[in-house]
Structure formats: C-alpha cells, structure tokens
Structure 1
Amino acid sequence: MKLTSAIRLTPSRLRHAKKLWRAFFAAALLANLQGCSYSPLLHQPVDTASVPANIFGAAAKLTGIDTGPPGKPQVVIFFDPFCPLCRTLYAELRPNLRKVRIHWVPIGTQMPMVVINDGTAERVPASFSASSCLLSGFPGTTALQKALTERHQVLCSDPTDWAAQAIERNTQALTSWKLYGVPVALVGAQKRPVFGAAQISNIVLSFH
C-alpha cells in the first residue's frame, strides 16, 4: 500500500502506529489462540493454496525423531522445544508413545516467541540452538524426552552444521505452508493441519 502525500508519518506518529499495531495483534492473539506463535499471522486461516497436495508426505520426509511402533508415521507433529504447549502435548502423549507412530519435527526460532495460553501471553527464548542440539546431541528419543521435559535447556554447546541446516529446512517448510505456530500436527491424508495441544492429543489418542 502506497502512502499518499497527504499522509505524513512523523517519528512520533510512526511510534504510535507501531504501538497500535502491536496492541491489535496482541488482542487478536489473546482472543483466538492457544499456541506458541513466531508470527502475528498465526491466527489467520490456513491458505490451502500454499499447502502441497501431499503435505503429510512432504512433512514426513523432514528431519525429525520417530516414536512408536515400526512403520510409516501416522501423525507428524511440528514442535519447538521451548514452547510450553508443545511440552504439555508431549506429557499427555508420553504414556501412549509406543502405540502410535509419530514423526516429531523440531523447528527453531532466532527470536523469542509469544506464547498464548489461557488468555495470557508469555515470551520464551529463541530456540534455534536448542533445536539444532536436539538433532545432533543425544540419541533421538532420549534427546526428545530431555528437550521436552527440561526447561529451556540447550543440550549442547556447538550443534553440527547438518542439524542446524535441518532445523532451517523444517522451519522454512512450516512457514512456506503459512503455518506460523506450534504445536501443529498433520494426520495421514488429512489436508488441513490441526492446531493446539488438546486437539492434537485427542486425535492421536483416537488411534488406539
């Protein structure tokens, strides 16, 4: 959108506009979300035109950690190790992880995230290093458990390049599909993603 010559953005007006913009998104997030957002667009409807026809297959090929019985994954879950609601989801699913094949795909942010939970907002640290360490540190399921049960702990001091590149690819995939928050799950041939710990937990537990 172009600004006409009749609109003059002075520094004070610009600061005021930014405050209003932040307040607008904060209100929208608090009213509509229960998740960890790294973009104010999380509350917008998913644009199915941006989602590949076989989004589940594409997501299942991303680097992640598998839990459950051998075979193809039944569910793909994108998560951030610092997202409290991702931790809540893991805690809810943990007693049943041997019954459902889940492909856990970590993402990582370079900036703090906003967490919306029960009508309150909280900031959590940037997670890129922790997510990279998750893939390059301990064996998969051990690293997953440590990352989602130990608060805000980076699992290594120097993640490998391939792990950092994998986290970049995972995060870029999620944003290219205009899915701007976690936890989010993809289930089988279902095209529309599922948001929120409670909704994902209900679907996963319905498999058995």
Structure 2
Amino acid sequence: MNTIQRFLTCIALSCSVLVLTACDKPAGDSSNASGTSSNVPADTGPVDFDKLEALKGFIVGSGPSIMTQTSAYVFFDPQCPHCAELWVNAQPLHQQVKMKWIPVAFINAKSKTQAGVLLEAQNPVELMTKYESEMTASKNSAVLDGSPRAETLEDVERNTQAWKNSGAQSVPAMLYRDPKNPGKVSMVTGAAPTASIAALFGVSAPAK
C-alpha cells in the first residue's frame, strides 16, 4: 500500500461524513442509484492534505486562498450528473475557495476516456464548465471525445483507486478542512447547493 493509499484509508476512518444525492452505482444498475444515509465517525486528529496534491486534477479558485492551501479536493466522474450539479453550484464561490477537482472512472465505459480528456485539456476549467453545462442541459448526454495518452489513463486509474481508498462509495466526494478546526477533515458526498458549500468553508454565499 503506497503513501496516498495509506493516507486515504486513514481519512476513511477519521473524517466526518455527510451524504447527499450522489452517483453510487454504475450505469445499468437500478438498485439504489443515490446515497441518502449518513455516517459520522469520530475525528482522530490532523490530516496532511499535501498528500492529495500527488493526484492528477485541476485547481479552481482565484480568491485569497489561491496562494495558500487547497480548501477542498473533489473526486468526480465525468458521467455523473450530480457532479455536474456540484460543479455549477460551486462556481459562485471560486473567488473565495480553492478547490482541486480530481477525475475518476467508475460509472461506465466513457468515464475513463472523458476523465483523461479533461486532464489533458489546455484549459481544463473552461472545458469542464462547458461540458458540465451541456451535461445539465442535455440530461447526461453531452459529448467529450478524445484519445488520451496511456500515461494519462494510468493517472485516472490512480485517482480512482485513491477515491476507493478514501472510503467514499459515491461521487462527487469532497474532502475539506473544517475552517474552525483545520486539523479536522470532513467528507461530503453529493451535489450540495451553493449556500451549503459556502457554510462548510465559513464563507458567504453570493447574493442571487
């Protein structure tokens, strides 16, 4: 078990978990397509977020925290409609919160290729915004074609294994620091609304 795997296994045992609507079954499996239960283990101490920086993803955020530590890490699958919803909901907070989005592949055969396409994009944030908007408008039928390099697909596989080792069983899964207790790491799975995301980080949600 490598350093990232050991670290994420510890998170599974020590983080607080809040579960919202999320993708937790591959396409074609009709049993319990969304997670609705919750589990809140006791926090056991500080977690080094720097270990998550070894995973391939892309940073979103241009506010005061951009030159400091990442506030949250989001595991997502490009084929997950709830991930698209979370992406849209998080956009109003990009000026205040620094987030790293880490693509994984588990929903269907398209997931891995699309995750690789996003990782290789010249401007992944711009492509992600366009793609997720189309996902929302088309009800999960947006197109994201490409032929990622083999090493990029291996990065996606490592991300996916790290997501599994985190203890999450659905996407999106967001690991974040408690602003009132930086040594505590919590996990939220599902498409939280903008106001709820803002509350997690102790920032104000922009007025509508």
| TM superposition score normalised by structure 2 | 0.64
Q: Aligned residues, how many? A: 163
Q: Which moved more, 1:146-155 or 1:178-187?
A: 146-155
Task: Give the superposition deviation at 1:196.
Answer: 2.0
Asked whether the equivalents of residues 65 and 144 of structure 1 are also in contact (C-alpha less than 8 Å), the reply is: no
Alpha-carbon distance in structure 2 between the residues aligned to 1:172 and 1:183: 15
Of residues 74, 78, 97 in structure 2, which corresponds to 1:77?
Answer: 74
After the TM superposition, which residues 52-63 of structure 1 pair with which residues of structure 2 at under 5 Å, given as runs?
54=47, 56-63=49-56
Alignment CA distance shift 1:44-1:167 (3 Å): farther
Alignment CA distance shift 1:45-1:148 (3 Å): same
Asked whether the equivalents of residues 46 and 179 of structure 1 are also in contact (C-alpha less than 8 Å), the reply is: no
Of residues 29, 35, 58 in structure 2, which corresponds to 1:65?
Answer: 58
Task: Give the superposition deviation at 1:199.
Answer: 6.5
Instruction: Identify unmatched segments of 5+ residues in structure 1.
Output: 1-31, 113-124
Of residues 174, 177, 194 in structure 2, which corresponds to 1:185?
Answer: 174
Task: Give the superposition deviation at 1:126.
Answer: 4.2
Task: Give the superposition deviation at 1:176.
Answer: 1.4
Task: Give the superposition deviation at 1:190.
Answer: 2.8
Q: Which amino acid aligns with 1:77?
A: V
Name the structure 2 match of 1:131: 115
Secondary structure of 2:185 counterpart? coil
Identity of aligned residues (%): 25
Task: Give the superposition deviation at 1:182.
Answer: 0.8
Asked whether the equivalents of residues 86 and 192 of structure 2 are also in contact (C-alpha less than 8 Å), the reply is: yes
Secondary structure of 2:129 counterpart? helix
Deviations along 1:119-160, whole A, 9 cap, x unmatched?
xxxxxx641111111111342212221332223445333111
Of residues 171, 192, 197 in structure 1, which corresponds to 2:160?
Answer: 171
Q: Which amino acid aligns with 2:152?
A: A
Task: Give the superposition deviation at 1:170.
Answer: 0.8
Alpha-carbon distance in structure 1 between the residues aligned to 2:169 and 2:194: 16
Secondary structure of 1:95 counterpart? helix
After the TM superposition, which residues 17-36 of structure 1 pair with which residues of structure 2 at under 5 Å, given as runs?
34-36=21-23
Higher CA-based Rg: 1
- 1:194 maps to 2:191: no
Alpha-carbon distance in structure 2 between the residues aligned to 1:201 and 1:58: 28
